Structure 1
């Protein structure tokens, strides 16, 4: 998608996912005017860097001018001492200094942030959570992560990892209830929430109960049609996800939760999740509204562009 966005106030945002890299160009009002996406080279770092550079240079050519600054929403965390990345969903990035490497290849201001936090920022500013005093953006895609915003301002935390609920441990008793094994996670821990509540987690649960190898959308569709194994997988997934979101309510008490990632497209979640969350809360707390994202798949990339604008303006003398 391309429209004329040539402007000194154009900002690029890139969302790095486990399956795709998406670039958007936003105008001075943070409206998305251009989009382009490619598959993510998950295991080849040089190919990853080249894919990002190609996206930026293609955008420059298509738009007719260079973006003022680039925001990059990257999965995982950055070691504060070494500046090196840890990313379970894009292994090629682990141990690499992504920002400096991109800066060396394309002379332009680059600003890195967590991809899930960028999604939350986008939905807090002009998105589904606009007007709410606080919000949590919960990503349910290749993995599970999120971000927390107060009054439209991202709260990244002391280590920059606020919102990493996907790496909370699922209680052994809850796994035993559903006969699920304790799974290793690429982050180095075991039994992490994202191994069960992400899209790949739902697919794993479906296989565990005897179902075919299917993606999450196909499982949900079969469940709506009354398929027994798909329905069982959805019930187990909903219980585990309800537990995770209940933990967010008890910890952060957000005024609204906005879902993102591939599973955010499943209508059944918005119908069934409130009761699943309530089942893991004590009497009294109310489940906040659980909403679909306004910006859909473009939310993380738009949030990265927002991040670039904020940091670039703050860096000006």
Structure 2
């Protein structure tokens, strides 16, 4: 058994996969975000329950937001504050007495989606999550590329291109990461709704915004057109640097069907003449991809091809 665990700021989910990466058991609990000892005990209880339910001692892979210091192993986590400054991997291993693999949740998403029938033909896959935040992971020939500080592909914290700021008269917004002008503030789900307030002065839901776009309501069209332009330009920058074969999109905004025809057109405007944009693909495993990718951190090579 392989246990994939997704630790978020609201919930923690564990899914048990067999060696063919089929789901055999799952459970979801609230994440203790302020009490570290409660967090550790909740985690160990989940593993005990999973072992009992599956009749096995599964191998454990964890996906979570945040950055881990490559020298000390200490975590920086804004979503789960009690983990900040903690050597979480060592402490969890002490509790469950078995090896644990941990990676960023966006990297786990990318790893999962790179190992699907859809993506098998593409050796270079960039998984991009467009949801509450904006993050990504790069998989080359089936393996995650992590980089020197294990923070490769944090593209949500690239600065918004000056041409976009001028074109759409956008202020430089402070970001929770400590920087300012990060593309996450404009291109994530909340960023998209913020753009609509900027253009129209109105606060709407995501569903209402996209319905307005489908009905060709002028203010909704203006917002979506600008957002697609900026997101397409950002993906084009990534392609110019990485030259990936395909982008696989996850997160809530990725469920909007229209973006899969709009984004390649937008990307083309920012690529060299004659250069074909990378494929833009929807996630195969959807909301399950994060935990699946976490499980794959521990899986054998044959399982990675399922």
TM-score, normalisation: structure 1: 0.86
Deviates more, 1:57-66 or 1:73-82: 57-66
Paired residue for 2:217? 227
1:99 positional shift? 1.4
Q: Report deviation, 1:304.
A: 0.7
Which ranges of structure 1 fall in alignment gaps of 5 or more residues?
1-9
Q: How far apart in 2 are the matches of 1:203 and 1:49?
A: 36
TM-score (ref. length: structure 2) = 0.89
Find out whether 1:251 has 2:248 as its counterpart: no
| Offset, 1:21 | 3.0
Shift, 1:215, TM fit: 4.3
Find the aligned partners of 2:125 and 2:200 in 1 and give their Cα distance.
Answer: 37
> Contact 2:47–2:96 (CA<8 Å) still a contact in 1?
no
Counterpart mapping for 1:98-117 below 5 A: 98-117=88-107
Greater shift, 298-307 or 281-290, is seen at 281-290
Checking the alignment, whether the CA contact within 8 Å between 1:200 and 1:215 is kept in structure 2 is no
Task: State whether residues 25 and 35 of structure 1, in contact with CA within 8 Å, keep that contact through their aligned partners in structure 2.
Answer: yes
The Cα of 1:255 is off from its aligned counterpart by 0.8
**2:108 matches 1:118:** yes
CA distance 1:36–1:268, change in 2 (3 Å): farther
Residue 39 (structure 1) shift: 4.7
Tell me the secondary structure at the aligned position of residue 200 of structure 2: coil
**2:115 & 2:234 partners in 1: Cα distance?**
25
Residue matched to 1:27: 18
Contact 2:70 2:150 in 1 (8 A): no
Bigger shift: residues 69-78 or 121-130: 121-130
Structure 2 CA distance for aligned equivalents of residues 237 and 40 of structure 1: 33
Q: CA RMSD in A?
A: 2.4
- Counterpart CA distance in 2 for 1:229 and 1:103 is 53
Q: 271, 280, 287: which one pairs with 1:281?
A: 271
CA shift in 2, pair 1:151/1:56, >3 Å: same
- The separation in 2 between residues aligned to 1:93 and 1:228, in whole angstroms, is 45
Unaligned runs of 5+ in 2: none
Q: How many Å separate the matches in 2 of 1:187 and 1:155? A: 22
